[in-house]
Structures are given as C-alpha cells and as structure tokens.
C-alpha cells in the first residue's frame, strides 16, 4: 500500500460520505483492534467487488476512498492471519457485498451504519468457527443475539486434510512465511487414513532448523523436540510444558517500537504454534490453553507498561496451571475416593497422571484395594504406571490388553483417563480405551472416566477415523527369538502398518465422568461447555 500514501492527502478533501466512513473507522479503531481486522477484510472484499463492477460510475473515487481507509488503519498487518481469513468469509460476505455496494449512495448514514454492523456480526460469527486460537473478545461487542444460534461456518483443521493438495499448498505457503520447517510424511499410509499425517520419529523437524534459530524461541524448539520424540507424553504433561515454555517466551519478549504488546505478542506466538503442531498435532487441552492465553494477552490494555504486562501474563499462566490442573486433580481425587471401597479390585489402562494421582491418594487415605494395570503394544505406557504405583506400595497385577477377558471377572471397577471429552459425550482417549469399556460393559463392571474440565472441547466425532493421530509405523516392528518378520515392510507393496494413537468411546459404555465440577454423566458435557462459555 505504499502508493496510496501519496493519494492520502488528496482524498481527504472528498465528500462527506467518506468523512463519515472515516469517522466510523477511527471510532471502530478505538473500540478494539478486532474491528480493524474486520475492517481490513471488508475493505479487501469491497476492493474485489469494485474490481468486478468497473462499469459502475462510482468506480475510481470509491477506489481511492478504499485505499485511503486502508492506509489510515494500523500499518502492522499480521501476515499470518490473512490466508486463514480469506477462505470461508468471502463466500458469504461477497454475496452480501454486491447489493449493498450498489445502494450505498442512496442510503443515509444511519442505515449504512446498521448495515456495517450487521456485516461485522456475520463475519464475527464465521470467525468463531476457527480452530486456531482466534481472539475472542466477545463481551466487548454490542451484539444483537447471543452466539449459539448463529450459523457457524467452521474452518477444517489442517491436520485432517492431508489428502487435499490445495490445503497442503496453503499450509506450505503459511509455514514458509513463518519460517517454520515443513515436515514430510513417512511410509505407506493405510488408505483409510490417507487424510492424516504420518511422521517418522527419526526425522524431527528440529533437524531442519538452523542454529541459532532466529524466528523460533529456543525453549519452543526444545519443547518441539520433546514432543516429537515422545519424551513428554500425556495431555496434562504436554499442556504444562507448553505453558512453561510460553512463560519463558514472554519473559524474553520485548515489544518492538511502534507496536502494541497485546497485538504483537499474539503474532509472535503464531509461528511457535505452527512449529509445535508440525512436531506433534496439538491436543485438545493444549488448544484450550492456547486460546486462554491469547485471550489474556489481547485483553491487556494498551496503556499498560511492558513489565507490568509481562508480570500479569506470568501470573495468569501460573493461575491457569494451578486452577485447571493441580487443584482440579485434587477435587477429582476427593470425589473419586468416595467411589473406592475396601476390597476393591481396580483396573486401569495405560498411564494417566490423574488416575495415578487418585490411586495414590486413596492409598494414603488407608483404603484397601489392589490394582490391575492393563498395557498394550507398542507404547507400553502401563509399565510406567506400574512403577509409580509399586513405588507407593500398592499391590499390582500386570497384563496385556489381549488378556482382558481372562482378568475381567476379578475386577470390580474400571478407572480410565481421558485425552478430551467431546461435545456429543464421546470420550477421546488412548487407543484401547474403548475396547476396555466394551468388555467391561459385557461383564457388567462399572466404568468411571476421570477428566478435568479444561479438556472439554466443542468438537463432535462418532468414530476413530475422521480425526486421529498416526504415530510412527516402525514402532510395531518387534524382534522375537532373533526373528523380525516385519523388518522390510516398506519393500512389500501391499503391506501397511497402522499405529493409531487415539480412539473414541461411545457414551453408553461409560457409567460416570468425574470432573472438578462434580460427578456427571457423559451426556452432560455440552452443558458444562455452555456454562463455561457463558462465564467467559
């Protein structure tokens, strides 16, 4: 927009109509930076519209007016957001643009203002469907109707669109702009999962980053490596590690001149998030944490000093970890211990930090029970849980998941952890959880799921195919008695290995969900989500 600066002086002497619009823009700018982006979007769309209607007699003066508006707005354009916005919004906005643009000279100021507000509302509604931590300063806008009933045009997350070459190209362009390395898929993918990524653990994206990394903060690079190698695993651990890394980033951040901390910091975080999702797709808990942080950052008033702002953010992160994770697990333990009685035989699957915590607490409160730990290949996380429980002194038995039918007649209760709870009541958790719930149901053993509320997410899903994570297929290879059957699986054309990470359990297998808000049935998850949204 460099050439428009010259025209800026000329166009100020234009008709009152434009003055009105200018005032509107300035007024909008003071209200909050949300509008400025929407204004920019609108301007871009109107430009496109005007290019279409070149025959219109308003052509040239309108163009100048648009450009003037563009130059008046804040010069810092967050480049990362642009391709994301363009995709769904022009579809419904351009339809509304054309009749409105034609009638503009005929309408009065008030009607124009009303139209603009209506357009902003629809754009805001379409932005709500975005997955990538869009800023939600919903309460500060004068709204006609509450959010829930407006049509939500969701943008599909990138990580389930691997079979679409257009989406891949877009992602590649975005990553190039952010200077984040693109990770390539590995190995033969089973046809049912061609819409998902499949990476190899041997090629972490950190290898493609030059030293010293200028764009990406070193603690984020370290975190990405820890994620991709599986050193940090488990949704609570990943979220906490992420928040600590963000604390470090905020500590080292310094506002560049002519920038506001609230806007610039968010823009700085975007490439980090892209990088982390290249290392390992973000979990639902991480997504919620990031949303919260971005909201907090964008709510920092512009007159706040940098040191003060940073301190505030650090406190905010600390309180988030404290409330949502640590205190939540205390509350959940208290509820869960009521459900454990003496003489119980409790079955647990894999390594859930929350369930381990509950069992250790119950043991300290002198409950007499014994635990059966079920484990599965290839991750074998149950061994870690076994070590922790045995260290505490709890009596344990260990089996593999194929021996489930043998061991279940002895079991009195099943405690499961969750990765996320979906809005239709399905429980998303480590692969194998749904199997345990199924067989427990067949033997009439109660199944209790323990989950903090920050893991609740608005997505819905009915099977384990549409959105999942594919881990390194080489993990399935095993050497027994000196023979490795699958050693050269890559050379055999029709052989594929499938290493799923998550699966969804239908709500009829789950008897109770224990959260920090209390003990609820699986079907009450959307109620909790609605309550949380209203609070925010």
Partner 1 sequence: MDGWWGCYNTVLIAVKQQKKSRIDDPEEVSVWFRKCSSCQEKFVQNQRFTETLVKMPGADKETDLSERIESFLSELKRCGSGAGSLRGSAETARETTALLRRITAQARWGNAGDLMEIIRKEGRRMTAAQPSETTVGNMVRRVLKIIREEYARSRGSTEEADQQESLHKLLTSGGSSEDNFRQHFAHLKANVIEAINELLTELEGTTDNISMQALEHIHSNEVIMTIGRSRTVEAFLKDAARKRKFHVMVAECAPFCQGHEMATSLSKEDIETTVIPDAAIFAVMSRVNKVIIGTQTVLANGGLRAVNGTHTLALAAKHHSTPLIVCAPMFKLSPQFPNEEDTFHKFVSPHEVLPFTEGEILSKVNAHGPVFDYVPPELITLFISNIGGNAPSYIYRLMSELYHPEDHEL
Q: Find the binder of partner 1 among 49, 270, 285, 499 (CB under 8 A).
A: 499
Q: Is residue 82 involved in binding partner 1 (CB under 8 A)?
A: no
CA distances to 337, 350, 360 from 368, in Å: 12, 22, 12
Q: Which is nearer to partner 1, 305 or 480 (CB)?
A: 480
Among candidate residues 51, 92, 95, 47, the one with its CA nearest the CA of residue 68: 47
The β-bridge relationship of strands 413-417 and 447-450 is parallel
Q: Is residue 387 involved in binding partner 1 (CB under 8 A)?
A: yes
Q: Find the binder of partner 1 among 293, 396, 416, 448 (CB under 8 A).
A: 396
Q: Is residue 444 involved in binding partner 1 (CB under 8 A)?
A: no
Q: Which is nearer to partner 1, 215 or 486 (CB)?
A: 486
Among candidate residues 173, 84, 166, 175, the one with its CA nearest the CA of residue 131: 84
Q: Which residue has the tokens 């427990």?
A: 440
Neighbour tally for 280: CB within 10 Å: 26
Whether omega before 378 lies within 30 degrees of 0, making that bond cis, reads: yes
Q: Which is nearer to partner 1, 121 or 475 (CB)?
A: 475
Q: Which is nearer to partner 1, 90 or 378 (CB)?
A: 378
Q: Find the binder of partner 1 among 434, 461, 467, 515 (CB under 8 A).
A: 434
Q: Is residue 390 involved in binding partner 1 (CB under 8 A)?
A: yes
CA distances to 62, 339, 376, 442 from 409, in Å: 78, 19, 19, 11
Query: Which residues, in sequence order, are CB contacts of 416 under 8 Å at separation 6+?
Result: 348, 349, 352, 355, 427, 429, 433, 436, 437, 447, 448, 449, 450
Q: Is residue 465 involved in binding partner 1 (CB under 8 A)?
A: yes
Q: Find the binder of partner 1 among 35, 348, 404, 450 (CB under 8 A).
A: 404
Q: Nearest distance from residue 69's CB to partner 1, in Å?
A: 53
CA distances to 271, 279, 344 from 470, in Å: 23, 13, 36
DSSP state of 403: G
Q: Nearest distance from residue 482's CB to partner 1, in Å?
A: 13
Phi, psi of 96 (to 5 degrees): -75, -20
Q: Which is nearer to partner 1, 97 or 471 (CB)?
A: 471
Spatial distance between the Cα atoms of 239 and 458, rounded to a whole number of angstroms: 18
Q: Find the binder of partner 1 among 221, 497, 513, 525 (CB under 8 A).
A: 497
Q: Nearest distance from residue 349's CB to partner 1, in Å?
A: 9
Q: Nearest distance from residue 462's CB to partner 1, in Å?
A: 9
Spatial distance between the Cα atoms of 199 and 471, rounded to a whole number of angstroms: 7
Inter-residue contact 450 to 528 (CB < 8 Å): no
Q: Is residue 485 involved in binding partner 1 (CB under 8 A)?
A: yes
Q: Find the binder of partner 1 among 435, 453, 467, 515 (CB under 8 A).
A: 435
Q: Is residue 460 involved in binding partner 1 (CB under 8 A)?
A: no
Q: At what angle do helices 59-72 and 4-11 cross, to 10 degrees?
A: 110
Q: Which is nearer to partner 1, 24 or 375 (CB)?
A: 375
User: Is the C-alpha dihedral spanning 400, 404, 407, 412 positive or negative?
Assistant: positive
Q: Spell out the alpha helix ranges (H) of 339-449.
A: 353-364, 382-392, 404-407, 433-442
CA distances to 130, 159, 299, 313, 454 from 136, in Å: 11, 23, 10, 17, 17
How many Å from the N-terminal Cα to the C-terminal Cα in the chain? 38
Q: Is residue 486 involved in binding partner 1 (CB under 8 A)?
A: yes
Q: Is residue 442 involved in binding partner 1 (CB under 8 A)?
A: yes
What is the Cα gyration radius of the chain?
Answer: 27
Q: Is residue 519 involved in binding partner 1 (CB under 8 A)?
A: no
Which stretches of 76-226 are assigned E, i.e. beta strand?
none
Q: Is residue 399 involved in binding partner 1 (CB under 8 A)?
A: yes
Spatial distance between the Cα atoms of 364 and 392, rounded to a whole number of angstroms: 9
Q: Nearest distance from residue 433's CB to partner 1, in Å?
A: 8
Q: Nearest distance from residue 234's CB to partner 1, in Å?
A: 16
Q: Is residue 449 involved in binding partner 1 (CB under 8 A)?
A: no
Q: Is residue 464 involved in binding partner 1 (CB under 8 A)?
A: yes
Per CB under 8 A, contacts with partner 1 among 175-194 are 190-192
Inter-residue contact 456 to 529 (CB < 8 Å): yes
Q: Is residue 478 involved in binding partner 1 (CB under 8 A)?
A: yes
Q: Nearest distance from residue 198's CB to partner 1, in Å?
A: 13
Q: Nearest distance from residue 459's CB to partner 1, in Å?
A: 17
Q: Is residue 482 involved in binding partner 1 (CB under 8 A)?
A: no
Q: Nearest distance from residue 343's CB to partner 1, in Å?
A: 17
Q: Which is nearer to partner 1, 241 or 510 (CB)?
A: 510
Q: Is residue 8 involved in binding partner 1 (CB under 8 A)?
A: no
Q: Nearest distance from residue 390's CB to partner 1, in Å?
A: 5
Query: Which residues, in sequence order, are CB contacts of 312 under 8 Å at separation 6+?
Result: 300, 304
Q: Find the binder of partner 1 among 26, 102, 172, 400 (CB under 8 A).
A: 400
Q: Spell out the alpha helix ranges (H) of 180-260.
A: 218-228, 235-252
Interacting stretch for partner 1, rule CB under 8 A, among 1-9, 110-118, 249-257, 491-499?
491-499
Interacting stretch for partner 1, rule CB under 8 A, among 86-94, 169-177, 285-293, 401-409?
401-409
Per CB under 8 A, contacts with partner 1 among 405-424 are 405-407
Interacting stretch for partner 1, rule CB under 8 A, among 35-43, 163-171, 278-286, 391-399?
391-399
Interface contacts to partner 1, rule CB under 8 A = 190-192, 376-378, 383, 386-387, 390, 396-407, 430-432, 434-435, 438-439, 442, 463-465, 476, 478, 480-481, 485-486, 489, 492-500, 503-504
């Amino acid at each position: 927009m460099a050439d428009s600066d010259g025209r800026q002086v000329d166009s100020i002497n234009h008709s009152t109509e434009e003055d009105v619009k200018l005032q509107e823009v300035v007024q909008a700018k003071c209200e909050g930076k949300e509008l400025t982006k929407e204004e920019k979007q609108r301007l871009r769309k109107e430009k496109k519209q005007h290019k279409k209607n070149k025959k219109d007699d308003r052509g040239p003066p309108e163009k100048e007016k648009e450009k003037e508006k563009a130059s008046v707005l804040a010069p810092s354009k967050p480049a990362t957001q642009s391709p994301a916005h363009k995709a769904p919004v022009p579809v419904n906005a351009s339809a509304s643009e054309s009749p409105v643009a034609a009638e503009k000279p005929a309408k009065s100021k008030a009607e124009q203002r009303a139209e603009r507000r209506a357009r902003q509302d629809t754009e805001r509604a379409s932005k709500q469907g975005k997955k990538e931590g869009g800023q939600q300063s919903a309460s500060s806008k004068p709204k006609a109707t509450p959010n829930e009933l407006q049509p939500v045009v969701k943008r599909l997350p990138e990580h389930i669109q691997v079979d679409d070459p257009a989406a891949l190209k877009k992602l590649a362009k975005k990553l190039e702009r952010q200077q984040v390395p693109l990770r390539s898929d590995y190995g033969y993918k089973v046809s049912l999962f061609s819409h998902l990524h499949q990476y190899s653990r041997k090629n972490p994206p950190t290898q493609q980053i030059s030293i010293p990394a200028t764009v990406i903060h070193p603690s984020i690079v370290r975190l990405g490596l820890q994620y991709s190698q599986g050193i940090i695993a488990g949704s609570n651990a990943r979220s906490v590690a992420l928040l600590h890394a963000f604390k470090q980033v905020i500590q080292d951040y310094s506002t560049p001149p002519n920038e506001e901390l609230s806007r610039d910091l968010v823009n700085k975080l975007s490439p980090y998030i892209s990088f982390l999702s290249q290392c390992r797709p973000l979990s639902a808990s991480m997504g919620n944490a990031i949303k919260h942080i971005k909201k907090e950052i964008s709510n920092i008033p512009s007159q706040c000093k940098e040191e003060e702002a940073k301190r505030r953010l650090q406190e905010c992160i600390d309180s988030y970890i404290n409330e949502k994770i640590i205190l939540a697990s205390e509350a959940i333990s208290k509820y869960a211990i009521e459900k454990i009685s003496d003489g119980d035989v409790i079955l647990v699957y894999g390594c859930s930090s929350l369930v381990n915590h509950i069992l250790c607490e119950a043991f300290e409160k002198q409950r007499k029970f014994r635990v059966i730990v079920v484990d599965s290949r290839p991750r074998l996380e149950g061994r870690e849980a076994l070590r922790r429980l045995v260290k505490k002194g709890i009596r344990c038995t260990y089996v593999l998941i194929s021996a489930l039918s043998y061991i279940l007649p002895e079991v009195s209760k099943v405690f499961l952890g969750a990765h996320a709870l979906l809005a239709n009541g399905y429980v998303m958790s480590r692969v194998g959880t749904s199997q345990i719930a199924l067989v427990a149901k067949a033997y009439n053993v109660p199944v209790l799921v323990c989950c903090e509320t920050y893991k609740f997410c608005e997505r819905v899903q009915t099977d384990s195919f549409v959105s999942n994570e594919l881990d390194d297929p080489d993990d399935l290879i095993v050497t027994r008695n000196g023979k490795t059957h699958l050693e050269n699986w890559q050379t055999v054309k029709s052989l594929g290995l499938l290493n799923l990470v998550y699966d969804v359990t239908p709500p009829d297998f789950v008897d109770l969900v224990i959260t920090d808000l209390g003990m609820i049935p699986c079907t009450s998850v959307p109620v909790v989500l609605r309550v949380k949204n209203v609070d925010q």
